[in-house]
Structure 1
Amino acid sequence: MSTENEGTAVPSAPSVPPVPVAAPEGTPAFAQGEFAHDQRYQEPQQHQAPRYPDQPGRASEPGHGSEPTTPLPGAVPAYQHGPEGRPGPYGEQGQQGPYGDHNRPGQHGQHGHAGGPGPSVSTGSAPDSGWPPPPPTQPHYGGGGGGTGSGGGWGEQPSGPQPARKRPGGLIAAVLAAALVAGVVGGGIGYWAADRNNDNSLGGGSTTVSAADAPALKREAGSTAAVAGKALPSVVTIEAQAQGGDGGTGTGFVYDKQGHILTNNHVVASAADGGDLTATFSNGKVYAAEVVGRAEGYDVAVVKLKNPPSGLKPLPLGNSDQVAVGDSTIAIGAPFGLSNTVTTGIISAKNRPVASGDGSSDKNSYMSALQTDASINPGNSGGPLLDARGAVIGMNSAIQPSGGGGGGSGQSGSIGLGFAIPINQAKTVAGELIRTGQPVYPVIGATVSMSEGGDGATISGDGDGGTPAVTPDGPAAKAGLRSGDVITKFNDVPIDSGPTLISEIWTHKPGDKIKITYTRDGKASQVDVTLGQRKGDTP
C-alpha cells in the first residue's frame, strides 16, 4: 500500500528570512573582483539579532528559481570596504533597515568579507557617484544571486562575536511529524482492512470469488452419447460354450419383448448342439439362453432367454434400403470380450458382396453387406449397427483382416473395413427362424462357379453330386438359361462372380421377379426370372 499522500500541500516557508550563508571552511581567499554577487548581508551587532529586509519570493531572482536557501557551516562574512574606503551598506546597531538612509552608513571595525546570498534591494540615491562601490564576484553559496556588490576577494573574519545561526529544526520537525502521522494513519487503515478480511473469513462473508456451478449438461437427442445411452440396455454379450469346452464371445440385441435375441450364426454355432449359452446385459445381469434357429447361409441366428425379465425394450429397426453412403454409424459390441463398447463411423459402401464362414464347417455365408469404417473386431459379431437416430440398419458380421482375404474368423483387429448384414435381410430371416426354426432361401435353380473375380457368374456344366447344373423345371430352366451362360447383371446390379450373384439373390424373397442379363456366345440377352425357394441349410 502506498504511503504517499498525493495532493498534500507543502508546508509554508517560515516568515523569518533564511540565515545568510557563510563560505565553506577551507575556501581560499580570492582576489577582489574575482567573483560577483548580487546579495548583501547586514552584519549584526553584538547581542542584537540581525535584521533583514522583507524578501519577496526568491523564485523571481535570476539563477535561483524556487530553490530554498541552504545554510553552510562557517562564520558569517562581513562586507569589505569599497574601493573608496567607505563602509559597507549596512547600518549600525539601532539604525533602520539594512538599506536605510545612505547619509548614515553603518561602520565596521575592520574590513569585512564579501557578503553571502541575499536579496537585491534598491538603495535610493548615493552620497556621491561612486557609492556604493561594486561588490566582488563570488561563488553562489547557498543558491545566491548573480548581481553586483561592494568589496573584492575574501577578507578577514570579523573580530566581534558572531550571532548564532538559526537551524531549520522547525521545518525538519514538521516533516518528521507529518511522516509519523502518515505512517500511523496508513498502519491503521491496513490493520482495519486486515481485520475486516479476517472477520469475513470467519463467517462474516467470504470475499473469495468462486467459480459458478456448471449448468446441467443436456445432450441432443441425436448425439452419439444419447443414442448409445438409449441402446446399451438392449444389447447383450453372448457367451457360447460347446460340450467339449470350446466356445467364444459375441454380441446380440433384443429383437422383441418375448426375449428373442438376434445375433450371428457363427457366434452360437458351437453351443447349438447341447452347449451352454448365456446373455449378459449392460447392467451385469446374466440370463441363460437357448438357440431357436440358425441360418448358416445368411449367418443369422435367433436365441431366446429362458427366463426373460420384464420390461425388455427391443431396438427399433430401420430400413437398410434407404441407407446412403456417408451416413453416420454407431457400432455396439464386445470386441475381444470388452462388453458395451461403442464405436462410430460412416457407411463406406453398400451392396458389398462378402463371403464368410462360421468357423465350424466348410460352408460359407454370403451377404450383400453394408461396409462401415466403425471399428469392428472379433466379439462385435452379432451386435447392432445403428444410424444417427439409433435405429438398427445392420448386424455386424465380418471384417477384412489386414493379412488379406475375407471372413471374420481370424483374430486380427479392425483396419476400418467392417461389414454388416442389412437389417432388412436379417429381419426376414429372423422371422422365418422364429416361426419355423429353419431358414428359407430364394434360388434361381442353377449352379454357378464360385471363383471370384471375372466378367460374371458362369453357370456350371454339372451340379453337385452329378446333378444337372440347371434344375429341371426350376426358375432358370423356365427362363431358358443353360450351362455356359454368363450372368452379368441381376436387375441393375453388376455381377462379377458367383459369390456376388448369391449375395444378391439372398437379399430378395422367394417369389420375387428378377431381370437377369447374360451373355451366350458373345451376345448379351435379358430374361425375367421368378425366384424359387429352398428350406433349411441342406440343399
Structure 2
Amino acid sequence: MSTENEGTAVPPAPSAPPPPADAPAASAPQGAHPGSAPAAGDPYGPPAAQAHHDAGAGESSSAPDPSWPPPPPPSTPAYGGDGGAGHGAAGHGGGGWGAGWGTTHQQPAPKNGRGRGGLVAAVLVAALVAGGLGGGLGYTLARENDSGGSTTVSSATSGGNVKRDPGTVAAVAAAALPSTVTIEAASSSGEGGTGTGFVFDKQGHIVTNNHVVADAVDGGNLSATFPNGKKYEAEVVGNAQGYDVAVIKLKNAPSDLKPLTLGNSDDVAVGDSTIAIGAPFGLSNTVTTGIISAKNRPVASSDGTGSKASYMSALQTDASINPGNSGGPLLDAQGNVIGINSAIQSTSNGGFGTGQAGSIGLGFAIPINQAKYVAQELIRTGKPVYAKIGASVSLEDTTNGAKITEQGVGGTEPVDPGGPADKAGLKPGDVITKLDDRVIDSGPTLIGEIWTHKPGDEVTITYERGGKEHTTELTLGSRVGDS
C-alpha cells in the first residue's frame, strides 16, 4: 500500500533551536519572481522549506516570463536548521519528505516502505493478542466470582441512538464525511500514492492538492472512493503546481453529491477550533481535531523529487495531519471548509523504514479563499492564473525583506520592462519589506502573499533603497500556466 501525498513540513536540523513563532517561511531557489521565476545564480539557494508532497509538488513562480521555469532543486533535498527563523513544510505522501530552510544538511535517501507497514501490523497484532487474553481472563474471573446477583447497570440507549447536537465534532464529522473521498493516483508505470479530496460542486468536481494527483496528470490512473465504499474513476481537470491545488472530476458522478460549504478563511482567528478529515497512512475517513495555531505562515514546499516549489501563506493548525491527509478539508466548528490540508512540520527525516514521519502538531493548510479562486479558474480554463509583480527576487534565507536581484534568470532583466514593478518605480537592489500591512521578511514570504491576491489587485509596496524607506502603489500582473 503506498502512502499518501500529504505536505509534510520538514523538520529543522536536530541541533537547531525551534523557530520563533513569527519566523519567516523557508527560503528557496536563489532569485525568483514573486509569482514569477527564480533569478540566475545559486540553482536552489538555501533550500526552501520543502513540502513533502505525496506524489508531485508545487512550484514557485507566477508569470509567463522568459525566466521561467526555475532551476530544479537538488536531487537530494536538504534539511535546514531554522537558524532562528523560518518554517519548513512538506507535502505528505508517496514522495520523500522535503526540507526546512536554514543551515543545510543532506537528507538521507528514503528507505523502502515496508518497514513501517510491518511495524504497524506487529503492533496491531500484539494489541489484539493482549486484548484477547485480557478478555479471556476477565470472563474467567467473572464466572468464578458470580454468585448469581448482578450489579451491572445497562445504558438506556446505545451509541447509535444518541443524538449529536449541531456543532459537536461528531455532528460535523457525520455531515462532512459523506462528501470527502480517498484519492488513489498512479502513473502509467504504476508509481503513485494516496491522498484526500472533497466534493466542490454537484457536477462531480473534487478539490485536492496538486501533489496528490501529480502522478496521474499525464495519462495515469485516478480514482476516488467515498466512505460508503463507492469508487469512481476520475480525471484531472486542471492542476496548479505553484498553488499546490488541483481539481479532478468523477466519471459517471452520482446525482446526489453534496458539496461541502466553503467558509471565509480571512475571518478565521487564532484559537478557533478545527477538524481535519483525511486518510493518514492509508487509513481512510480519519477525523482529527485541534485549533488554528497561527495565520499567514509563509510556507515553501516541494516533494524533493525535482518538482518546482509551491508557496502559501498558510493556516497553521495542531490538528493531527499525516501523510495521506493531503488535499483533505480543514473545517471550522460549523463544518465549513476553511483550508486544504497540505503540509506538516516533522522532527524526523524518516522512521519505521518508510522515509516518512508523523504529526507533531504543526500542520499547514492552504486558505480556502485562495484555493476557491484557483479551483474556479482550473474548472473554467484548465490552467492556473498567478498574480505577479514582474521582478526577480532573491530567495536566500534572510529576515530583512525580499531583495530584487541585480540580474534576472538566464541573463534577463531583473525588473520586467513595462511590467508592474517597473511601472511602480522599483529597481534592482530595492528591498521589499511590506506588502500592504503584511511584513515581508524574505522572498518566499513575498511570493506567498502575492499569491493570496488576484491579477489586477492594487497593493501598496514598502521598500528600502539607499537606507531610506519608500512606498509605491503597484497593480499586480498575471501569468497563465505553470510553464
TM range (shorter): 0.5 to 0.7
Contact 1:290/1:303 (CA < 8 Å) preserved in 2? yes
Partner SS state of residue 274, structure 1: coil
Of 299, 304, 307, the match for 2:244: 299
Q: Is the 8 A contact 1:270 1:360 kept in 2?
A: no
Classify the secondary structure of the residue corresponding to 2:375: helix
Amino acid at match of 1:290: E
Q: Tell whether 2:421 aligns with 1:483.
A: no
Matches within 5 A, 1:29-48: none
Alignment check: 8 A CA contact 2:270 2:293 kept: yes
Listed as ranges, the matches of 1:5-24 within 5 Å are: none
Q: Aligned equivalents of 1:356 and 1:315: distance in 2? A: 26
SS at structure 2 position matched to 1:231: helix
Q: Is the 8 A contact 1:266 1:359 kept in 2?
A: no
CA 1:277–1:430: 2 relative to 1, 3 Å: same
Q: What displacement does 1:212 show?
A: 7.0
Q: Which of 431, 448, 459 is the matching residue for 2:393?
A: 448
State whether residues 299 and 358 of structure 1, in contact with CA within 8 Å, keep that contact through their aligned partners in structure 2: no
Task: Work out the CA distance in 2 between the residues paired with 1:410 and 1:458.
Answer: 35
Question: 1:379 Cα deviation (Å)?
Answer: 0.4
Aligned pair 1:214/2:156, yes or no? Answer: yes
Contact 1:296–1:358 (CA<8 Å) still a contact in 2?
no
Instruction: Report the counterpart of residue 119 of structure 2 in structure 1.
Output: none
Shift of 1:361: 3.2
Q: 1:461 aligns with which of 398, 406, 421?
A: 406
What SS does the aligned partner of 1:331 have?
Answer: strand
SS in 1 for 2:193: strand
Q: Tell whether the 8 Å contact from 1:279 to 1:289 is kept in structure 2 after alignment.
A: yes
Please state how far the C-alpha of 1:209 moved relative to its aligned partner.
9.9
Name the CA shift for 1:435/1:230 in 2 (closer, same or farther; >3 Å). same
Where does residue 466 of structure 2 map in the other structure?
521
Q: Name 1:356's counterpart in structure 2.
A: 301
Q: State the one-letter code of the partner of 2:329.
A: P
Amino acid paired to 2:252? N
Structure 1 partner of 2:181: 236
**Hey, what's the Cα distance between the residues in 1 that align with 2:268 and 2:249?**
29
| Aligned partner letter, 1:440 | V
Matches of 2:361 and 2:238, distance apart in 1: 31
1:462 to partner: Cα distance: 1.2
For 2:477 and 2:303, locate their aligned partners in 1 and report how far apart those are by CA, in whole Å: 25
Q: 1:250: Cα distance to partner?
A: 0.3
Following TM superposition, by how much is the alpha carbon of 1:303 offset from its aligned partner in structure 2, in angstroms? 0.3
Question: What secondary structure sits across from 1:277 in the alignment?
Answer: strand
Q: Give the structure 2 partner of residue 395 of structure 1.
A: 340
CA distance 1:286–1:470, change in 2 (3 Å): same
Q: Structure 1 length normalisation: TM-score?
A: 0.59
**Higher RCO (CA < 8 A, seq sep 6+):** 2
Alignment of 1:82-481 (within 5 A): 214-215=156-157, 216-358=161-303, 360-403=305-348, 411-481=356-426
Partner Cα separation in structure 1 for residue 246 and residue 207 of structure 2: 6
Aligned letter for 2:347? S
Letter in 1 for 2:428: S
Q: Per the alignment, do residues 286 and 481 of structure 1 end up closer, same or farther by CA in structure 2, a change over 3 Å counting?
A: same
Report Cα offsets for 1:367-397 as digits up to 9, x if no partner.
Answer: 0000000000010000000000000000000
Paired residue type of 1:268:
V
Larger radius of gyration: 1
User: What per-residue deviation string (whole Å, max 9, x for no partner) do you get for residues 39-77 of structure 1?
Assistant: xxxxxxxxxxxxxxxxxxxxxxxxxxxxxxxxxxxxxxx
For residues 251-295 of structure 1, give each alpha carbon's deviation from its aligned partner in whole angstroms, at most 9, with x where no partner exists: 000000010000000000011111000000000111000000000
- Partners of 1:463 and 1:330 lie apart in 2 by 43
CA change 1:383–1:208 in 2 (3 A) is: closer
- When residues 414 and 392 of structure 1 are mapped into structure 2, their CA distance, relative to the original with a 3 A threshold, is same
Q: SS at 1:425's partner residue?
A: helix
Aligned mates of 1:358, 1:262 — CA distance in 2: 19
Structure ranking higher in strand proportion: 2
The gaps in structure 1 that reach 5 residues or longer are: 1-206
Q: How many residues align?
A: 329
Structure 2 residue identity aligned to 1:413: G
Equivalents in 1 of 2:467, 2:150: separation in Å? 89
The offset of 1:360, in angstroms, is 4.5
Distance 1:208 1:365, change over 3 A: closer
What is the Cα deviation at residue 217 of structure 1?
2.1
Task: Tell me how far apart the structure 2 counterparts of residues 209 and 385 of structure 1 sit (CA, whole Å).
Answer: 45
CA contact (8 A) 1:329 1:374 kept: yes
Structure 2 portions without partners, runs of 5+: 1-148
For residue 247 of structure 1, report the CA deviation from its aligned partner.
Answer: 0.3
SS in 2 for 1:470: coil
What is the percentage of aligned positions where both structures have the same residue? Answer: 71
What's 1:131 paired with? Answer: none
- 2:457 corresponding residue in structure 1: 512
Normalising by structure 2, what TM-score? 0.66
Q: What SS class does the counterpart of residue 454 from structure 1 fall into? A: coil
